[in-house]
Amino acid sequence: MTAAASPLPGTGGLAGELAALQAIWHRDMLHYSRDRVKIVVTLIQPVLMVAFLGGALATLLPASPGGADYRTFLFPGMLVMTVQAPAISAGASLVADRQMGFLRELIVAPVRRETLLVGRCLGGATIATCQGALLLPLAAIAGLPYKPAMLALLLAELAVVALAMTAFGVLLAVTISNAETFYAVMGILTTPIVFLSGAMFPVGGLPGWLASAVIVNPVSYAVDALRRTITAHLAVPASDPLFDGPRWGGWQPPVILELAGLALGGIIMLVWAARRFSRPD
């Protein structure tokens, strides 16, 4: 296929790069909006987890003085898990495009390879953020109030988390060329990083070696940032062990530092992935 037959617009210069980036992003958003069954199915698991598992365990664990129970504790973890699936799928989509030959057609377009990868990453991050936003209206099942300021903060934090996770998935996709290996690695990595993030269980009572794994796990700070944003609007005491997060030698990093670390990590992974993707085959 020649450059003239490329599915991407290429007018040259910055305008051409932005047009190509927008085309990639728009393609991903069209695929997302047209697959409504997948959108609904992706939301079923976190809703059931909060409603049934959270409701069952809430009867066994005492509620905090601020009125928060295990469902409140579980909700931020479900938000992160809801964002994680479509974010990581951006890497899987890149692998599928390579297998079907569509990626080769993109590469011959008269735009930089880095632009194509950034467009894919932004599309995946947008889809992941939208998926998390769809779960926010269901906050009432976790006992959360509908406070606009809290929901807006949660949405902004989800966007940061989505960008970091999408960059991670894309980095793996451009590093691992074999599709079977990619899916195997993703299967091995995703489960431990979720269970060792405090998404489903409090991290305060973990043994030392598991506590160290929580500290070095980036997802721990995503869950903790969302959870502390929620508890700040519920007047939950800072000493409540149920809502304790990762600590560095007894010091708990502020939410803004956690989010900044996630954003920086996402940018570094995206730049790394773009440099690898820009290398000629």
Give the model's pLDDT for residue 6: 42
Q: At what angle do helices 218-232 and 255-277 cross, to 10 degrees?
A: 140
The model's pLDDT over 142-193, given as tens digits with 9 standing for 90+, comes to 888 888 999 999 999 999 999 999 999 999 988 887 778 888 888 888 888 8
- CA dist., res. 59 & res. 75, Å (int): 16
Give the model's pLDDT for residue 239: 66
Query: What is the CB-side half-sphere exposure of residue 233 using CA atoms within 13 A?
Result: 17
- CA dist., res. 272 & res. 159, Å (int): 20
Per-residue pLDDT of the chain (281 residues; tens, 9 = 90+): 333 334 455 445 778 788 888 888 998 899 888 888 888 888 888 888 887 777 777 666 666 665 677 888 889 999 998 898 888 888 888 888 777 776 776 676 677 888 888 888 999 999 999 999 999 988 888 888 888 999 999 999 999 999 999 999 999 988 887 778 888 888 888 888 888 888 888 877 777 778 888 899 999 999 999 999 988 888 776 667 777 888 888 888 999 999 999 999 999 999 999 888 877 65
Residues 6+ apart with CB under 8 A from 275: 114
Find out whether 76 and 227 touch, Cβ atoms under 8 Å: yes
Residue in 93, 98, 110, 99 with CA at minimum distance from that of residue 5: 110
Residues 6+ apart with CB under 8 A from 52: none
Give the model's pLDDT for residue 238: 63
Residue with tokens 């269980």: 201
Find out whether 231 and 243 touch, Cβ atoms under 8 Å: yes
Longest distance between any two alpha carbons in the chain, whole Å: 67
